[in-house]
Amino acid sequence: MRPASLNKQNPKSGFTLIELIIAMAVFSLIGGVLVMIFVTSVEYFSNEKSQIFNQYRITQLSDAFEVDTRKATEVNIVSGCLVFTISSGNSTYCLNTSTHSLTRNNLEISDSIQTITSTLSSNKLILTVVTVPDQRGITNTIHLTYYLREGNY
């Protein structure tokens, strides 16, 4: 690279076309790498945010099931819905498989739930909750075991 001269007698001062093309190529490569890093980090953040929301939904469900299990005098599975008999009234949990929403007494409490499997044995309730796959195809699964009060079943 030849430095520009203030001397007006040298008509060949400045950058050559080859030098400008090489500089543009180098800056294009650097810009491409920066854009790739930015896009990758935005995608990673979005995926992690999706996982956090799925885990939060499962935690909310776990808390709701725990509260109703502690209060329940009886637990039944009726038409695929989980029914907790509580002194103040029943709490019924149903999963709408087409919208992936879980309702408690016909009020939506969570969405993005793919399946809920419930097994009721003599003194315990076993629940398996699976979320809808996120953008990467990853599902969150939680296995919950609640021990029921003895003498009520």
Residue 105, domain member (yes or no): yes
Contacts for 61 with CB less than 8 Å, ≥ 6 apart: 102, 109, 110, 113, 129
CA–CA gap between residue 117 and residue 13 (Å, rounded): 79
Closest to 57 measured CA to CA, from 147, 129, 126: 129
In tens, the pLDDT along 125-142 reads 898 988 888 877 888 888
The phi and psi torsions of 2 (rounded to 5 degrees) equal -100, 130
CA 144 to chain centre: 19
Give the H or E element holding residue 116. Answer: strand 113-120
Residue 80, domain member (yes or no): yes
pLDDT band at 152 (very low <50, low <70, confident <90, very high): very low
pLDDT band at 4 (very low <50, low <70, confident <90, very high): low
β 107-110/113-120 pair status = unpaired
Residue 85, domain member (yes or no): yes
pLDDT the model gives residue 38: 94
Residue 116, domain member (yes or no): yes
Average of pLDDT values for 36-45? 89
152 or 116, greater pLDDT = 116
Per-residue pLDDT at 9 exceeds 70: no
16 or 57, greater pLDDT = 16
Number of domains in the chain: 1
Which domain, by its residues, includes 50? 30-147
35 or 112, greater pLDDT = 35
Residue 16, domain member (yes or no): no
Residue 12, domain member (yes or no): no
Residue 125, domain member (yes or no): yes
pLDDT the model gives residue 72: 84
Average of pLDDT values for 50-73? 84
Q: Alpha-carbon Rg of the chain, whole angstroms?
A: 31
Token pair 């009886």 in the structure block, residue? 74
